[in-house]
């Protein structure tokens, strides 16, 4: 099975990769956390394109390991000799979309699918916020009271069109910032309190607008529309990782262009 995530992983800077590494880390793994950490240190030290390429392939292997069952992973690794042996990232995106109960269009690249996952998750998360939290979200994004009133007045007529409404009232840049803030909060909810604190701390320099707002929101947000069977604890890792990678993709604009927001 070929590597599928490399173009998107190439967009990650050192801080992005640290966030992802924190989520991958575990004590028991049929793959190799130690190899991953060593490769990251080596690529950071040498700044070699070859070392970075090798490291990003290990990252993808570890992510796809998380989306695989232990037995199936070991079987593919030892008997089929797949490289990487984990489940396809496309299958992981579909699985996480089902778990998050969001609609997903299963076409296009890995990046475009993850961007759509971020959008759909942000939409659902917005309606989980209280009216006060929704308004604080807009204030953090420097949206004036007049624009807020215009948005909420229009939203009453059609809640299905939240993203197009945001785009119409606030413009593409503020809409993107709000979508990212909502997606980060949804990702953090799945980590558990201690892990979420560490996750948010890592994001302070990347997303300073949301760092202070996220803590209280995450602690009070239950996301009752999600019913995840945590018997497979990997969802505590795969959901935040995939949402974060979708955010990385959105930073330079969605692959679908303006059509993404409509």
Q: What is the pLDDT along the chain (262 residues), one digit of tens a residue?
A: 689 999 999 999 988 988 888 888 754 454 466 777 778 777 777 778 888 898 899 899 889 888 876 444 444 454 455 667 678 899 999 989 988 888 888 889 999 999 999 999 999 888 888 888 888 888 878 889 999 999 998 888 777 788 898 888 888 888 888 888 888 888 877 776 667 677 777 776 777 666 666 655 555 555 443 444 444 557 878 889 999 999 999 988 899 998 888 8
pLDDT per position as a tens digit, 75-86? 445 445 566 767
Which residues does 24 contact at the CB level (< 8 Å), separation at least 6? 33, 36, 59, 62, 63, 66, 237, 241
Q: What is the sign of the dihedral through the CA atoms of 41, 44, 47 and 50?
A: positive
* Distance of alpha carbon 145 from alpha carbon 138, whole angstroms: 9
* Distance of alpha carbon 144 from alpha carbon 136, whole angstroms: 11
Task: Specify whether the CB–CB gap between 1 and 88 falls below 8 A.
Answer: yes
* Distance of alpha carbon 78 from alpha carbon 169, whole angstroms: 55
Task: With CA atoms as reference, report the closest residue to 34 among 43, 44, 26, 45.
Answer: 26
* Distance of alpha carbon 10 from alpha carbon 185, whole angstroms: 24
DSSP state of 87: P
The pLDDT score that the predictor gives to residue 247 is: 92
The pLDDT score that the predictor gives to residue 26 is: 56
Task: Specify whether the CB–CB gap between 72 and 84 falls below 8 A.
Answer: no
101: three-class secondary structure by DSSP: coil
* Distance of alpha carbon 239 from alpha carbon 92, whole angstroms: 9
The pLDDT score that the predictor gives to residue 248 is: 93
Task: With CA atoms as reference, report the closest residue to 185 among 160, 222, 148, 142.
Answer: 222
């Amino acid at each position: 099975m070929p590597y599928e995530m490399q173009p998107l992983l190439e967009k990650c800077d050192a801080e992005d990769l640290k966030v992802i590494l924190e989520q991958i880390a575990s004590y028991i793994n049929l793959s190799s956390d130690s190899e991953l950490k060593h490769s990251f240190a080596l690529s950071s030290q040498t700044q070699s394109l070859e070392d970075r390429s090798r490291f990003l392939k290990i990252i993808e292997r570890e992510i796809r390991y998380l989306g695989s069952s232990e037995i199936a992973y070991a079987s593919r690794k030892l008997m089929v000799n797949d490289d990487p042996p984990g489940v396809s990232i496309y299958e992981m995106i579909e699985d996480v979309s089902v778990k998050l109960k969001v609609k997903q269009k299963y076409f296009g690249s890995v990046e475009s699918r993850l961007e759509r996952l971020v959008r759909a998750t942000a939409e659902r998360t917005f309606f989980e916020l209280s009216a006060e939290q929704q308004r604080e979200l807009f204030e953090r994004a420097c949206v004036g009271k007049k624009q807020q009133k215009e948005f909420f007045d229009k939203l009453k007529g059609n809640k299905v069109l939240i993203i197009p409404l945001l785009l119409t009232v606030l413009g593409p840049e503020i809409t993107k910032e709000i979508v990212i803030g909502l997606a980060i909060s949804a990702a953090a909810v799945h980590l558990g309190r201690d892990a979420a604190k560490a996750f948010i701390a890592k994001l302070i320099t990347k997303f300073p607008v949301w760092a202070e707002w996220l803590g209280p929101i995450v602690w009070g947000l239950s996301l009752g529309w999600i019913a995840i069977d945590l018997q497979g604890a990997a969802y505590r890792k795969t959901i935040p990782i995939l949402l974060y990678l979708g955010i990385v993709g959105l930073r330079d604009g969605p692959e679908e262009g303006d059509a993404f927001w409509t």
